[in-house]
Amino acid sequence: MSPPGTGVVPEDTVDLAGYLARIGHHGPALPELATLQALHVLHPAAIPFENLDPLLGLPVPLDLSSLQGKMVRGGRGGYCFEHNTLFKAVLEAIGFTVTGLIARARWIVTPDAPPTPRTHMMLCVELDGERWLCDVGFGGHLAAAPIRLRLGVEQETPWNIVRLVPVGDLIGLETRLPTGWKECYRFSIEPIFAIDYELANWFTAAHPASRFRSSLVAERLTAQTRFTIGNRRYIQRHRDGRVEEIELQSADMLAEALTAGLGLPNSVDADAIWQRLDAAGVTR
């Protein structure tokens, strides 16, 4: 609660009203499935996935004050550790029981590729005796719904059909594409703690081998359109099947895509991002 008479939310307290206003949730916020589903739809529509800070060599703090200043009050987005740390805090403030999980991303590698590092954060919510996989920060293929933690069952979300399958002693999340099933990531249900995320976050944000240091990835998922920027490609995939793809030719075009499509503020330095892509040798 705010200190009496100030109307200011303490830095270490979830600004629930501010968060709900940011994502446009105007209904009740109760620890119920309807609330969980509503927030999971609205969050990726309002707060985009983006890796601008690590791309520009800036730190990525995970404390609640920094996350709310950036993503709730500052109009920015973030990547998985930021999104799901914030989402976890919000859900817990509402009254949900939430466990942090971590995964090995498989979205951009071939099925026979060696193991990837555990650098993707997701959540498990326990509700009425059932566990739900929640993830508002998987850049490249954002999800708009929590998923029942049940193996081998095809589950329909607002945008796609997904399933959870056993992969050795891990669980794989797959999404159905026109070309067949594609694995997003694989994980275990071992609880993960804040210190574990700090370590993985440091690697993702600062290690020279991290793709987020040399590639631009940004995405926003609304009810009708999936907006995606991958380096200098800007793609809009619509629910009716239409796909519009643009090759970004300048920093001005990038700025327009980041603000009009991704919903980021005009203060984002598109010139610096463009120069960073040049320095990284990105051609498209």
pLDDT digits (tens, 9 = 90+) for 114-123: 888 999 999 9
Distance CA 232, CA 243 (A): 16
Distance (Å, whole) CA 4 – CA 2: 6
What is the average per-residue pLDDT within 229-240? 96
For residues 195-207, average pLDDT: 97
CA dihedral 58, 63, 65, 68 (to 10 degrees): 70
From the list 40, 53, 124, 135, the catalytic residue is 135
pLDDT digits (tens, 9 = 90+) for 77-92: 999 999 999 999 999 9
Give the predicted TM-score (pTM) of the model. Answer: 0.94
Residue 6: pLDDT over 60: no
Mean pLDDT value of segment 224-239: 97
Given a cut of 70, whether residue 96 has pLDDT beyond it is yes
Number of C-beta neighbours around residue 24 at 10 A: 11
Inter-residue contact 157 to 41 (CB < 8 Å): no
Tell me the average pLDDT of the chain. 94
Active site includes 120? yes
Domains of the chain by residue range: 16-279
Which entry of 40, 43, 83, 120 is annotated as an active-site residue?
120
CA angle 279, 263, 218 (to 5 degrees): 40
Task: Report the percent of the chain where pLDDT is more than 70.
Answer: 96
Tell me if 81 sits within 8 A of 199, measured CB to CB: no
Looking at residues 50-61, what average pLDDT do you find?
97
Q: 16-279 maps to which CATH number?
A: 3.30.2140.20
- Compute the Cα dihedral for 74, 104, 153, 177 and give only its sign: positive
Which of 15, 40, 80, 83 does the annotation list as catalytic? 80
Residue holding tokens 């249900």?
Answer: 189
> Which H helix or E strand runs over 131?
strand 130-134
